[in-house]
Chains A and B, each alone.
Chain A
Amino acid sequence: MSSQVIASTTSRARVLTEAEISEIEHEKTLYPDNQAVGLEALKIVQNHQGWVSDESLLAIAEYLELSVADLEGVATFFNLIYRQPVGKNVILYCDSVSCWICRGDDIKDHLSEKLDIDYGQTTADNEFTLIPVPCLGDCNNAPVMMVGQDLHRNLTKNGIDEIIDQYRNKNA
């Protein structure tokens, strides 16, 4: 198969790792066609690489024999697939109604100030990316946010400083 090229770039497919391929092959046993596996493969690659680059997207499309445009359409539809690089820790900050009522906005402003980033941005040291998320299903502990896979509840300005410092120290 010839290497596909995304029209707007000169990107070439990268080589998928053995681990990625073995996980994609496992997904193939769970779904009847490759289109369904495509979305799973995007998640797998993101899990290994942190995000889905053009080169990764092309590699998946080639490996599963999917249309690049279709796969790109899928990748850009879903908010948990990152088509831009993200920091080491992705912060999903709940901007939904129960957290808002519990003054989550004020705490988000404080967090933005502390990290010097707004939604959609990554800190200069590449430690944190801040993304808004609808309702994390923990509304009795509002305001809440998720850092990586960890849920942090009943957020306060002081508390959030400590949380951020913990991740900084963990990564140091």
Chain B
Amino acid sequence: MSRPPLDIGAYEANDGYQSLHKIAARMSAADVMETIKSSGLKGRGGAGFPTGLKWSFVPQGESSPQQKYLVVNADEMEPGTFKDRLLMEGDPHLLLEGMIISAYAIGASKAYIFLRGEYHGSVKTLKKAIAEAYQKGYLGSNILGTGYDLDIILHTSAGRYICGEETALLNALEGKRANPRAKPPFPQVSGLWGKPTIVNNVETLCNLPGIITYGIDWYQGLGKGADAGTKMFGVSGRVKNPGVWEMPLGVTIRELLEDKAGGMQDGLGLKAFLPGGGSTDFMLPEHLDLALDYDEISQKGGSRLATGTMIVLDDQTCPVGMIGNLMKFFAHESCGFCTPCRDGLPWVDAIFRDFEAGRGSEKDLDILKEQVEYMGPGRTFCALAPGATAPLGSGLKYFEDDFKEHIKQKRCTYKD
């Protein structure tokens, strides 16, 4: 961060916490939920599920459990993803304001921030911001005279990528091994300690204050294409100016990669890229003019927008090695609960090590293709292994020549 995080005074001077005053004056929880539903906001954590719709599954009314929870998924660990940390360290009150809106809408009196254990900087900024928000009466009991109470508890994770899966996250928060849970019941109905629970990503929550303060029309007007609002977009890899930028949904990939990230470093060409973290399918230079919105990336790009943080593969880095790096990660992070993931990923990882050592064979390619099927969507307990098959399956398709060259020359052809 190039500047200190906004304190509450600076934040308030920039319309911070205005949404809460608006809510206190004239919006019921149902009004807030309806507004977010109509806004078209989709979850920014990776899956892109409509946020208001997710909230609407929480049972309401007198017969529903009175204790409900909001949990913030701040366990940013998708390889190549570095947007939530920036938000928490650069604008922590934006997250808190979003949390208060979300918790109010679903009727939660307690909210936990499940924060990546390694994010020590975020601990500092969030702790300070939470204390300030209590002091100003935005947290605690009877917030702004509404009679609504909310406490926020900052929880740091003890590690493991699987905690990003929302039911595994809830198990970790309960002090258990972070294996995912069977669904249904979904957390909205039976989540943390069996109570109705909404798990929202950091960036998703950061969208809420603007929607309430400035309205649905303003928010929808921000998007350039089919999707509403803005998104944090990142670029990493060997480009001239790697970074993360807030941009309207619907800008082209080319604008992000060339105008913002400055294009490839001198002497390097663009070979391919993962558009939204390690669990997305490779896309190619021919896709550069597609718009960065949810449907276009999946329907025309064959991938997913997911976290919106692009990982760029240059033409002097081995695609087989890059996929091998991702497979090692996924194999290590499998929680070990279900067979296709626990046994499939280490097998795939071992094959990539063989390729690296010049021992890859045609038979291995067949096994890898089989594993893409066996670990694919619907075959496993959660989305971890299917996520791994995204770069694996697309990589086998796009980089077949590179795999074959490794087999033929019995070595990695990108090394001297």
List the interface of chain A (C-beta within 8 A of B): 30-33, 35-40, 42-43, 73-74, 77-81, 92, 95-98, 100-102, 133-142, 146, 149, 151
Give the CA-CA distance A151 to B157 in the complex, in Å.
18
Q: Is the CB of A37 within 8 A of B175?
A: yes
Instruction: Please tell me if the beta carbons of A137 and B119 are within 8 angstroms of each other in the complex.
Output: yes
Main secondary structure of the interface of B (DSSP, over half): mixed
Q: Judging by beta carbons under 8 Å apart, are A98 and B85 in contact? A: no
Most B C-beta atoms less than 10 A away, residue of A31, A33, A100, A135: A135
Which of B118, B121, B314, B326 has the most chain A CB atoms inside 10 A of its CB? B118
- Check B11 for interface membership: any CB of A closer than 8 A: no
Q: Is the CB of B116 within 8 A of A137?
A: yes
Q: Which residues of A contact B82 (CB under 8 A)?
A: 135, 137-140
Stretch at the interface among B58-66, B72-80, B125-133: B72-80
Chain A interface mostly helix, strand, loop or mixed? mixed
- CB-nearest residue of chain A relative to B151? A30
Q: What B residues does A79 contact at CB under 8 A?
A: 158-160
Q: A39-B175, A134-B77, A139-B234 are in contact. Are A80 and B158 (CB under 8 A)?
A: yes
Between-chain CB contacts (< 8 Å), 30 pairs: A30-B153, A31-B175, A35-B176, A36-B173, A42-B158, A43-B156, A73-B177, A74-B177, A77-B177, A78-B159, A78-B160, A80-B117, A80-B158, A80-B159, A81-B158, A95-B329, A97-B311, A98-B80, A101-B237, A101-B322, A102-B238, A134-B77, A134-B329, A137-B81, A137-B85, A139-B309, A140-B236, A140-B243, A142-B236, A149-B120
- Is A101 a contact of B326 with CB atoms below 8 Å? no
- B78 lies within 8 A of A135 (CB): yes
B121 to A151, Cβ gap below 8 A? Answer: yes
Which residues from 77 to 136 on chain B have a C-beta closer than 8 Å to any C-beta of chain A? Answer: 77-82, 84-85, 116-121
A97 & B159 in contact (Cβ 8 Å cutoff): no
**Complex formed: what's the CA distance from A43 to B154 in Å?**
14
Question: Taking A39-B158, A139-B236 as contacts, is the C-beta distance between A101 and B77 under 8 angstroms?
Answer: no
Inter-subunit contact A139/B177 (CB<8 Å)? no
The CB with the most chain B CB atoms within 10 A, among A92, A97, A142, is that of A97
B28 proximal to A (CB < 8 A): no
Give the complex CA separation of A38 and B176 in angstroms: 9
Question: How near does chain B come to A139, taking the closest CB pair, in angstroms?
Answer: 4
Residues A135 and B77 in contact, CB atoms below 8 Å apart:
yes
A140 touches B244 (CB 8 A): yes
User: Which of chain B's residues has its CB closest to A32's CB?
Assistant: B193
In the bound complex, residues from chain A placing their C-beta under 8 Å from that of B157 are 78, 80
A36 near B244 (CB under 8 angstroms)? Answer: no
If A37-B175, A140-B235 touch, whether A77 touches B79 (CB-CB below 8 Å) is: no
Task: Tell me, in angstroms, the Cα distance from A33 to B193 when the chains sit together.
Answer: 9
Contact status B85-A138, CB under 8 Å? yes
Chain B residues lying within 8 Å of A140, measured Cβ to Cβ, are 82, 234-236, 242-244
Query: A77's closest neighbor in chain B, by CB?
Result: B177
Q: Which residues of B contact A80 (CB under 8 A)?
A: 117-118, 157-159
**Given known A135-B78, A139-B81, contact A43–B158 (CB-CB < 8 A):** yes
Q: In the assembled complex, how far is the CB of residue B315 from the closest CB belonging to chain A, in whole angstroms?
A: 12
Whether the pair B175, A35 counts as a contact (CB closer than 8 A) is yes
Q: How far is the CB of B383 from chain A (nearest CB, A)?
A: 16
Size range of the chain B interface in the assembly: 35 or more
Closest beta carbon of chain A to B277's beta carbon, Å: 9
Residues of A within 8 A of B160 (CB): 77-79
A134 pairs with B161, CB closer than 8 A: yes
Are B175 and A97 in touch, CB under 8 angstroms?
no
Write the chain B residue with the least CB distance to A73: B177
Contacts of A95 in B (CB 8 A): 325, 328-329
Q: Which residues of A contact B313 (CB under 8 A)?
A: 101
Closest to B162 in A: A77
When chains A and B are docked, how far (Å) is the Cα of A38 from the Cα of B120?
A: 21
Given the known interface contacts A79-B159, A100-B322, A139-B236, the answer about A36 and B175 at a Cβ–Cβ threshold of 8 Å is yes
Q: Give the CA-CA distance A138 to B80 in the complex, in Å.
A: 8
Residues of chain A contacted by B235 (CB below 8 angstroms): 140
Other than the known A135-B81, A137-B77, A137-B84, what 4 A-B pairs have Cβ atoms closer than 8 Å? A101-B322, A134-B161, A137-B119, A138-B82
* Distance A77 CA – B337 CA, assembled complex (angstroms): 12
B278 CB-CB contact with A under 8 Å: yes
**Top 8 A-B pairs ranked by shortest CB distance?**
A78-B158, A139-B236, A80-B159, A140-B242, A98-B236, A79-B159, A36-B175, A39-B175
In the bound complex, residues from chain A placing their C-beta under 8 Å from that of B244 are 140
Whether B77 contacts A39 by the Cβ 8 Å rule is: no
Min CB distance B190 to A, Å, is: 15
CA distance A95 to B120 in the complex (A): 19
Partner of B118, one of A40, A74, A97, A146: A146
Tell whether B305 is near chain A: CB-to-CB under 8 Å: no
Shortest CB–CB separation between residue A83 and chain B, in angstroms? 12
Residues from chain A with a CB closer than 8 A to the CB of B117 are: 80
- When chains A and B are docked, how far (Å) is the Cα of A146 from the Cα of B85? 15
Residues of B contacting A135 with CB < 8 Å? 77-82
- Chain B residues lying within 8 Å of A31, measured Cβ to Cβ, are 175
